[in-house]
Structure 1
Amino acid sequence: MHPSVPADRTSRSSSPKLEADTDNAGSIDTVLANNEKIMVDETNDGDDDASKMKEAVPCKNTPDHGDDFKEERYAWLIVIGAFFVQVTSFGVVTSWGVMQDYFHEHRLGLPPPSETTFQMENEQLLNLSFVGTIALICTNICGPLAQILTSIWGHRMVLIIGTFCVTIGLICAGFATEIWHLYLTQGIVFGLGACLNYCTIMGVAPLWFNKRRGLALGVVTSGSGIGGLIIPFIMTSINESPSLGPEWTYRILGFICLALDLVAVVFVRPRVPTPRQRKKLGDIIKLNVLKDMNFLLFLIGSSTALMGYFLPYFFLPAYATSIGLSPKQGGALVAVSSAMNFLGRILAGICADRIGKLNTNILFTTASGLSTFLIWTFAKTYGVLMAYSAVFGLFCGSYFALLSPITAQILGNEKFPTGLSVMLLSNVVSVFGPNIASAIQNAVNTEPFLTYKLFAGAAFLVGAFILTVLKIKLDRNILAKV
């Protein structure tokens, strides 16, 4: 839905002609602050917090600082490039459960079976889960670095560096013989490259749209779902090939990521190029946004829910094999969940434009928690697990689709870049969810994987409750579009 514009602000200069060269492209912060005025949908006029959210002051002396520009066809090429980046970043990360199950079954880092205890196997599973965790940490914590590099070299050069790191990290992971080798390669090197690519495209893509921004971001973020759909089948097929194995799984995957990320390198560029202006860390990370209680509630609620997000993706394959299913069936569960994630993120974008961004996020987060509690907890057959994968996948990805628009809605244009950086940094806490659940599972005497199920469901529902508190604080009308 196109936000309303006051009559005294309807007169604006037209957008400048798009330039193919990105040498003069500035940092993500500069583009966001100087070229877009993000305004929120209608909220309760009588509520003070909602009234504050409506205020957005346009920057002067810029070529185009409004939302009333005409959307160009080229914008959808930006979406394609950004979509492929999502495939090669979060699509690969969410598929880690397939490789984790393979390495667990083939006893990577364990002594011979005669010398292995049950406790040692649990510790190995915990250690393997840190590979995905480290990759997620690097993907989120290196956001400020991506913005600083963008302010120095421009978007295209940062995308080239990120593509190089993603490719090299995966190829080198194919030579791993110990778990800590995977920490360095798929964890740090790949995670750094994924972050550079992800932060760059998410700082550019939203600014090409106004009326269809929610839909565009839904399509972009659905790339991780498509990646999670296709990549597990690639991994499983190559892993089980007698002539190939996991070494070639990583090498082939590395070259696939190279080809896809090069599309982003070619097409992704800012809508309105601005002069480069080197940024310092203090210019990007301004923790004063945490004084905004609405933003703080959104951060806490989102981080809490996100702690449960990766648990099914990391542990569903291992749970499937533990109840007698094949590795292919375990990989299919992740693939189906990712396919539904693809559809769910687009659906979240569409619903956000119709019923409100925060409302959509609350509904989807609640559904994710309920499906985990009511389906996965009692799933003992392939059919029930497949049903859970489909339902969970459809609803669990709303946070990623709506992170940018909700942050902009709460903070406004001026503080949006800082707020987005703080949100990405807060995700570092959330990615420890699988490790916390693993530690609890090892410490208690209960049925295998029960802790993972309960932890994931509780995280989503507690997060949804906090987001509901935020909604009521913004507008006491329960049916209001927020």
Structure 2
Amino acid sequence: MQDYFEQNKFPNSALELSFVGTLALVFTNLMGPFTQILTSMFGSRIVLMTGTVLVTLALIVAGFSSQIWHLYLTQGIMFGIGASMMYVTIMGVAPQWFTRRRGLALGMVASGSGIGGLVIPFIMTPINSSLGYAWTYRILGFICLACDLVAVVLVKEKFPRKKGRKKLSDIVQLNVLRNFNFILWCVGSVIMLLGYFVPYFFLPSYATFHGLSASQGSALVAVSSAMNFIGRVLAGICADHIGKLNTNIIFTIIGGLSSLLIWTFATNYGSLMAYSVVFGLFCGSYFALLSPVTAFILGMEKFPSGLSVLLLFNVIAVFGPNIASAIENGVSAEPFLSYKLFSGVAYLVGACILTFLKLRLNRNIFAKI
């Protein structure tokens, strides 16, 4: 949709449009602690139902947008709050049901967004071409309604929560920041995530810049999302065999190198498709492993607070596309080069910090961590 709006409705507004997705991601992470408070008060099912309503209404109302700030309020803030209620609630419930092969289980849970990224572009592009962006948003809203209702029906807690309203200080216990290993985990992850969103935001625009069609640009995102689905499951399998942190480091390094060594030199459909495959396969290990690594570092007692703090740190990372856009607008280099270098370097710097964390935990480089 960013590519469509930039080319047809809001020309020369790439930076302003990038804040739509940024706001959605910010509120998805920022509302995490408040979602946990609501869950403690009303239970997971009520929170999931509320999130479903907000996500659906946000997309339907976004179809009436005539200004960029309308998208900020709907697809950005309102959708982000609803998505947070869905995502944080389910990520808190899923680990309750698994003891063995938890890495694989959480990898499968986290891989769901890859399926959406595979299917949705092929739905949105033809609808947008024939019916316009308004009906595209409305139909997408009803698709989300159908999918989210399945989650409302099927997702439930294994252990009943104690009744009573929790305070924000009960959810976000900042004493977890006294653990230097946890700080390294947060900082390394945030720096890496700065580069994660950049290809997904700008790869379709890059494709049309080189003369490819909008459908080909959508196909690149779809293939990358499909490989992201496979990669997150693969990360969970590898985590159970070679260690959670080890897996994340290896995947992060390969993801960064793919931006520097493939995307930098990709100018045709074949080479861009190769990049989409490699980056998609290795870029999303963090989302599959954030829960088990956090639990490993802090222990299960402090895990809920650690997860909330980590999600708050993630708010910084969602500004990656905006920072990359500002750099792109401020330099006189080859078009899109800043995006490629920014994504690749962010991944590699994050991997270096995570490697330092691994060596602090165990100096044996081959230790299963």
- TM-score between both structures, scaled by the size of structure 2: 0.99
Q: Which amino acid aligns with 2:47?
A: V
Match of 2:59 among 164, 170, 176: 170
Which residue number in structure 2 is paired with residue 442 of structure 1?
329
1:457, CA displacement in angstroms?
0.3
Match of 1:253 among 107, 116, 140: 140
The answer to whether the aligner puts 1:262 opposite 2:149 as a matched pair is yes
Which residue number in structure 1 is paired with residue 4 of structure 2?
102
1:438, CA displacement in angstroms?
0.4
Q: Which amino acid aligns with 1:140?
A: N
1:341, CA displacement in angstroms?
0.2
Q: Which amino acid aligns with 1:295?
A: F
The answer to whether the aligner puts 1:154 opposite 2:64 as a matched pair is no
Q: How does 1:204-215 map to 2 (within 5 A)?
A: 204-215=93-104
1:274, CA displacement in angstroms?
3.0
- SS of residue in 2 equivalent to 1:106: helix
Match of 1:380 among 246, 250, 267: 267
Q: Which amino acid aligns with 1:393?
A: G
Q: Distance in 2 between matches of 1:277 and 1:354?
A: 40
The answer to whether the aligner puts 1:475 opposite 2:355 as a matched pair is no
| RMSD of aligned Cα (Å) | 0.7
Q: How does 1:328-407 map to 2 (within 5 A)?
A: 328-407=215-294
Question: CA offsets per residue over residues 272-318 of structure 1, 9 Å max, x none?
Answer: 21331210111111111111011000000000000000000000000
- SS of residue in 2 equivalent to 1:275: coil
Contact 2:194 2:320 in 1 (8 A): yes
Which residue number in structure 1 is paired with residue 159 of structure 2?
272
Which has a greater percent of helix? 2
Which residue number in structure 2 is paired with residue 286 of structure 1?
173
Contact 2:40 2:161 in 1 (8 A): no
Q: How does 1:161-200 map to 2 (within 5 A)?
A: 161-200=50-89
- SS of residue in 2 equivalent to 1:331: helix
Q: Which amino acid aligns with 1:177?
A: S
Q: Distance in 2 between matches of 1:157 and 1:279?
A: 16
Question: CA offsets per residue over residues 191-220 of structure 1, 9 Å max, x none?
Answer: 100001111111101110111211111111
Q: Distance in 1 between matches of 2:159 and 2:182?
A: 28
Runs of 4+ in 1 over 2 A off after TM superposition: none
- SS of residue in 2 equivalent to 1:321: helix
Match of 1:425 among 312, 327, 332: 312
| Alignment size in residue pairs | 369
User: 275-284 vs 426-435, which deviates more?
Assistant: 275-284
Q: Which amino acid aligns with 1:138?
A: F
Question: CA offsets per residue over residues 212-268 of structure 1, 9 Å max, x none?
Answer: 211111111110101011111111111111xx1111111001001001111111111
Q: Which amino acid aligns with 2:66?
A: T
The answer to whether the aligner puts 1:309 opposite 2:196 as a matched pair is yes
Which residue number in structure 2 is paired with residue 140 of structure 1?
29
Task: Extract unaligned runs of 5+ from structure 2.
Answer: none
1:394, CA displacement in angstroms?
0.1
Match of 1:224 among 113, 138, 142: 113
- SS of residue in 1 equivalent to 2:9: coil
Q: Which amino acid aligns with 1:422?
A: V
Larger radius of gyration: 1
Which residue number in structure 2 is paired with residue 61 of structure 1?
none
Q: Distance in 2 between matches of 1:165 and 1:236?
A: 24
Match of 2:18 among 110, 114, 129: 129
- SS of residue in 2 equivalent to 1:210: coil
Q: Distance in 1 between matches of 2:182 and 2:207?
A: 39
